[in-house]
Amino acid sequence: MTIMELGALGEFLGVFALVATLIYLSIQVHYARDESEKAVLEARTTGIRELSLSAATSDLSAALVKADEAVGAARRSFEAALISRGLDRQEAYRVNMWYLASWRLDFTQYETATQAQQNTQHSRLRAIYSEGVGRLFWDNFPRARQGTDPFANHVNRLIAEADQQQGRRQ
């Protein structure tokens, strides 16, 4: 083989190496974009969760309830349901904020979990949202009824499964 033929062969193989490199880089860029989007979602969700948890566990809740009353804000349906069952306004607000923080945590964990981790989370989600105060929260949670949130739709399916199992046991 002459030098010219080896050079031509090298150029030919170089084209394949270039194409393989471009494919690899496009996959890496796609992966990096997905990871960046997940990180932004997680940071946003974490911030909201921490604000809700802070409102639920600090004296801030009293000020927020007082501010709501001062401007004539309507009670949230979950809070109204808790008040009708004997909680005062501040207690109902704190419980609502705690459940919102818990929802954000569940959402964040589920969105970033592997399939195996999601499978283990199912029984926990069923237990929280299919009975008791968690069910009252869920029944009054607007996202649960909108049908546009994939995670909320997933939780609705888990609750329906729990309801069916309860129906079979009774």
pLDDT tens sequence across 48-88: 777 777 777 778 778 888 888 888 877 788 999 999 999 98
The C-alpha atoms of residue 120 and residue 126 are separated, in whole angstroms, by 11
Show pLDDT as tens, one digit a residue, over the chain (170 residues): 788 888 888 888 999 999 999 999 999 998 888 888 878 777 777 777 777 777 777 787 788 888 888 888 777 889 999 999 999 888 898 898 888 888 888 888 887 788 888 888 888 898 889 889 999 999 998 888 777 888 889 899 999 998 888 875 54
> Which residue pairs, CB below 8 angstroms and at least 24 apart, start in 119-127?
122/158, 125/155, 125/158, 126/158, 126/159, 126/161, 126/162
| Cβ neighbours, 10 Å, residue 25 | 10
The average confidence (pLDDT) of the chain is 85
Predicted pLDDT at 168: 59
The C-alpha atoms of residue 98 and residue 6 are separated, in whole angstroms, by 71
Predicted pLDDT at 119: 84
Is the model's pTM score more than 0.85?
Answer: no
